[in-house]
Structure 1
Amino acid sequence: MAYDRPGGDGLVLGVPKAAFRPSPVFLGLVALFAVSGVLTWNGYGSVRFNVFLFVVSGWLVSLCLHEYAHAVVAYRAGDRDIAHRGYLTLNPLKYTHPLLSIVLPVVVVLLGGIGLPGGAVWVDRHAIPGRLRHTLVSLAGPATNVLFTLVLVVAVRLGTQSDGPVEFWAGVALLAFLQLTASVLNLLPVPGLDGGNMIQPWLNPQWRKMYDLFAPYGFILLFALLWNPRIGGWFFDAVFAVGDLLGLPSWLYATGLELIRFWR
């Protein structure tokens, strides 16, 4: 297949340039994140509701960027059709499972304070040659969460040394904690999740067949593992230990979690 070079014809590698423009939905989420952050910082209106909007919109923006990272690496690796599916516009409404990728993670954030990963973008694996490229496509999303975690932790550590409002930094700390939990969860070698998909190309045919059999039930398996008191305890102990190692104040993100539950 021949691809057009970027030019004045509105095409990039045979794909309309509009396929690469951020969608109004994503830009609206970014605007909501910025405005709610300003309201929280200045103490306008209900601070608890402002923190709620700040954390939820920030989390949704990070979900969009997580899935965008998968999509853009897949596009570069050979799946050109992914641009036609709308994934490169950062529009969460284009995801294959909006309920699992948007609604469920937000509900889990509000109820449990966990950054739940979501399966959203469909990648044509047959269009991508080489096992390493497949692994990099799966790694791109969790790598985004890890990067966000580090940036937000640095922001919290620097910001709490200033005279800024504690409610604002509690929201940022909670976002950092959510990114941390999402990083750990996404890197677990669970079939169907990013961590499992990273190793799937390297399995022998027999193990790969078993993996593909369990992959559609990865979310259920994840919940079952976290529901187990011992395994769930190990997971949260690990997350809290990493948070402490990074210097993320536990009392601050706990305050943020309490603030976003504004209905209490």
Structure 2
Amino acid sequence: MRDASGRAEGMGGPGLSPNALLIGLIFCGVGFGIGAGALAGSGAAFVFLMSGWVLGLCLHEYGHARAALSWGLPPTGALSLDPLRAPNPVVTMLLPALFTVMGGVGFPGGVGFPGDVGLPGRVGGPPEAGLSRGRQSAVAAAGPAMSVLFLVVLALLYALASPGAETLRAVLAVSVLFQGTALVLGLMPIPGLDGYGIVRPWLSGPPASPPSPPWAFVDRMARHSGLVLLGLFLVSAAFTRPLFRASLLLTDLLGIDLADVIAGFRLVRLW
């Protein structure tokens, strides 16, 4: 059953959407074509990277929504894995994908932007009265947990790829890098990011009480964090270099060859 807004009612939430299936088919189909040698060049590599990126964002938002639903919060369109039905799809999907292309680095979904109405599990999100601090933190952490799962899947696909499938290994390697940078950045305790959402419930009064003035100000500023992060990405090497180092360390721990990361990064650049 659906309400007037089209949102599924009941604890199950909406089912898997055709848009999610289409994104998954594009990701798998282009990946298979690259691996088989039927597709080549930067265009195919870019489509593979960005379809996987959007799929990862959908899984990330699904994690938040599923954890929230399990503790009694209303179901949202993110449970369908449809990027168009995620809470505020411009903030959660479009802008992160755009900034990922512009900045050449994985940009986490759901960061704050002016006018953002708030997302479940994040600072400024819908009221979560009745949830303990631990559960509020768990809702915020569920998104990164799904990102970790997707990151591991990509690393396994890389490990299973034939050594002769150099292009496939390269695009998988750079996909792991982009997912890794988004994960590292998203877990930073910066207002507007999941890392801050995890610790935020423990920084003020009881869960049901309004935030004290200092924290209320920080929560309002969190809605501008996306613009701040974009500026740091584009102009500050002091910010991006440590982020890349941490992400490259993560890819190394997952068994990704640095040479493949570099080859993949060059391959997906269209300019």
| TM-score, shorter chain, exceeding 0.5 | yes
What CA distance in whole angstroms lies between the structure 2 residues aligned with 1:94 and 1:243? 31
Residue range with higher mean Cα deviation, 182-191 or 49-58? 49-58
Return the letter of the residue paired with 2:245. D
**Cα offsets for 1:181-240 (capped at 9, x unmatched):** 111011011111111111111112445323212211121232344443323322222222
Cα-to-partner distance string for 1:114-143 (whole Å, 9 max, x where unaligned):
111121883233345111111001101111
Which residue is equivalent to 1:217?
224
Q: Which residue of 1 aligns with 2:3?
A: none
Structure 2: state its 5+ residue gaps: 1-7, 112-117, 121-125, 205-210
How many residues align structurally? Answer: 246
Q: Which amino acid counterpart does residue 248 of structure 2 have in structure 1?
A: F
Contact kept? 1:125, 1:134, Cα under 8 Å: no
**In 2, Cα distance between equivalents of 1:187 and 1:16:** 28
RMSD: 2.5
Paired residue type of 1:89? S
2:181 corresponds to which residue? 181
Segments ≥4 residues shifted beyond 4 Å: none
Give the TM-score normalised by structure 1: 0.83
TM-score, structure 2 as length reference: 0.81
- Partner of 1:216, secondary structure, is helix
Q: Could you tell me which residue of structure 1 aligns to residue 51 of structure 2?
A: 57
In the TM superposition, 1:28-39 aligns within 5 A as: 28-39=22-33
Structural mapping, 1:46-125, within 5 Å? 46-79=40-73, 81=74, 83=75, 85-119=76-110, 122-123=119-120, 124-125=126-127
Q: Is the counterpart of residue 15 in structure 1 residue 23 in structure 2? A: no
1:234 aligned residue: 242
SS at match of 2:94: helix
Superimposed CA distance per residue, residues 28-67 of structure 1 (whole angstroms, 9 cap, x where no aligned partner): 1011111111111112244432222221111111111110
Name the % identity: 33
| Equivalent residue runs for 1:117-156 within 5 Å | 117-119=108-110, 122-123=119-120, 124-156=126-158
Q: Which amino acid aligns with 1:110?
A: V
Q: Which has the higher helix share?
A: 1
Deviation at 1:14, TM superposition (A): 5.8
Greater CA drift, 233-242 or 190-199: 233-242
In 2, the alpha carbon distance for the partners of 1:34 and 1:245 equals 25
